[in-house]
Chain A
Amino acid sequence: MPHRRDFLTQSGCGFGALALAAMLREDTQAASGGALQVLHHPPKAKRVVQLFMAGAASQIDLWDHKPLLEKVHGQPSDFGEPVETFQDGLGPWMKSPFKFSPYGESGKQLSEVVAPLGECVDDMAFVHNMVGKTGVHSQATYLQATGFERPGFPGMGSWISYALGAINENLPTFVVLPDHRGFASNGPKNWGSAFLPATAQGTAIFPQRANPIDDLSAQADFVTAAGDHDGLELLKRINRRYQEQRNGDSRLEARIRSYELAAAMQLSAPEALDISSESAETMKMYGLDRIGATYPDQINPAEEAEYFGRKCLIARRLIERGVRFVQIWSGNDNGFPRRNWDSHENIERDHGPLARGMAVGTAALLKDLKQRGLLEDTIVLWTTEFGRMPSSQGGVGRDHNPHVFTNWLCGGGIRAGATYGESDDWGYKPLERNNPTQVYDIHATILHLLGIDHTRLTVRHDGIDRRLTDVHGHIIHDIIA
Chain B
Amino acid sequence: MNLLNKNLLMRAGQIALLLVAASTSVLGADNFFRSQVAPILSQRCLSCHSGDKPKGDFSLKSRATFFADGYVEPGDSAVSHLMELIAPSKGPAEMPRDADPLSDVEVAVIAKWIDDGAVWPDNFELQESEVDDFDWWSYQPLTRPEVPKSDNSWASSAIDRFVLDKLNQHGLTHSPRADRATLIRRLTYDLIGLPPTPEEVSDFVADADPGAYEKLVDRLLESKHYGEHWARHWLDVAKYADSCGYDKDKLRPNAWPYRDYVIRSFNEDKPYARFVQEQIAGDVLFPDEPDGIVGLGFIAAGPWDFIGHVEVAEAKLDGKVARNLDRDDMVSGALNTFCSLTVQCARCHNHKFDPITQEQYYGMQAIFAAVDRADRPFDIEPAVAKRRRKLNSQLNDVVAQQAELEAHIVSLGGEPLSDAQAAIRELEQSRKAIYPEEHGYHSGMATKADVEKWVEVEFPSEVPISKVVLHPCSDDFNGIGDGFGFPVRFKIEVANTEGTWTAIHDATDEDFPNPKLSELSVALKDRKARRVRVTANRLARRADDYIFALAELEVYSDEQNVARGATVHSADSIEAPIRWGANNLIDGKWPRASGEDVEQQIDAATTTRDLLLARIITERIAQQRTELACLSGEISAQIEKLPAQQKIYAAASSFERQGNFIPTDGKPREVFVLIRGEVGMPGKPAVPGVIPLSGDSPWQFDPNLSESERRARLAQWLTDRQHPHTWRSIVNRVWQYHFGEGIVATSNDFGRMGAQPTHPALLDWLAFEFRDGGQFLTAQSLKSLHRLIVTSNTYQQSSANIPSNASIDSGNQFLWRANRRRLTAEELRDSILTVSGAMNWQMGGPGYYLFELEKPEHSPHFEYFKFDPSNADSHRRSIYRFVARSQPNPYMTTLDCADSSQSTPRRTETLTSLQALTLLNNKFNLVMAQEFARRLKREYESSNAQVARAVELVTQRSVTPGEMTEYMDYTHRHGLDNLCRLLFNLSEFVFLD
Contact = CB atoms under 8 A, between A and B. Distances in A.
Interface stretch (A35-43, A101-109, A198-206, A308-316): A198-206
Interface string B910-928: 1111111110111100110
Contacts of A224: 974, 978
Interface string A384-407: 000000000111010000000000
B318 A150 contact: no
A135 interface: yes
Contacts of A477: 91-92
A261 B865 contact: no
B753 interface: yes
Nearest to B919: A215
B978 A227 contact: yes
A195 B894 CA distance: 14
Contact of A172 (B914, B975, B982): B914
Contacts of A220: 923, 926-927, 930, 977
Nearest to A152: B902
Interface string A173-199: 000000000110111110010110111
Which bucket holds chain B's interface residue count?
35 or more
B987 A137 contact: no
Interface string A419-462: 00000000000000011001010000000000000010000101
Contacts of A262: 913-914, 916-917, 920
Contacts of B249: 187
A303 to B, nearest CB: 19
B173 interface: no
Main secondary structure of the interface of B (DSSP, over half): loop
A139 B886 contact: no
A186 B748 contact: no
B970 A238 contact: no
B247 A186 contact: yes
Contacts of A292: none
Interface in A257-299: 258-259, 261-262, 264-266
Contact of B908 (A135, A198, A231): A198
A463 B982 contact: no
A336 B574 contact: yes
Interface stretch (B197-205, B301-309, B651-659): B301-309
Contacts of B973: 226-227, 230
Interface in B318-340: 318, 321-322, 325, 336
A89 interface: yes
Contacts of B641: none
A116 to B, nearest CB: 30
A133 B676 CA distance: 14
The A interface, classified by DSSP as helix, strand, loop or mixed, is loop
B107 to A, nearest CB: 16
A455 to B, nearest CB: 6
Given A246-B800, A265-B913, A463 B92 contact: no
Contact of B325 (A150, A203, A213): A150
B163 to A, nearest CB: 20
Contacts of A198: 893-894, 896, 908, 910, 912, 914-915
Contacts of A1: none
A217 B903 CA distance: 33
B345 interface: yes
A139 B894 contact: no
B620 interface: no
B575 interface: yes
Interface string A240-261: 0011001111011011101101
A137 B307 contact: yes
A31 interface: no
B865 A209 contact: yes
Interface stretch (A59-67, A80-88, A118-126, A360-368): A80-88
B353 interface: yes
B888 interface: yes
A463 B746 contact: yes
23 contacts: A134-B318, A139-B308, A149-B321, A151-B245, A185-B246, A186-B246, A189-B888, A192-B888, A198-B896, A214-B914, A215-B921, A218-B920, A219-B921, A220-B977, A222-B929, A235-B986, A242-B987, A243-B987, A248-B803, A255-B911, A463-B342, A472-B98, A474-B92
Given A139-B308, A231-B974, A242-B991, 20 more contacts: A134-B318, A136-B318, A149-B325, A183-B887, A185-B246, A194-B902, A198-B915, A218-B920, A222-B978, A223-B926, A230-B974, A235-B982, A242-B987, A255-B911, A255-B990, A258-B911, A463-B751, A464-B345, A471-B99, A475-B92
Interface of B: 91-92, 94, 97-100, 245-249, 303, 305, 307-308, 312, 316-318, 321-322, 325, 336, 342, 345, 353-354, 437, 444, 574-578, 746, 748-749, 751, 753-754, 799-801, 803, 806, 820, 822, 855, 858-859, 861, 865, 885-888, 890, 893-894, 896, 899, 901-903, 905, 908-918, 920-923, 926-927, 929-930, 963, 966-967, 970, 973-975, 977-978, 981-982, 985-988, 990-991, 993
- A-B pairs, 6 with minimum CB distance: A138-B247, A248-B801, A463-B342, A152-B902, A151-B901, A261-B913
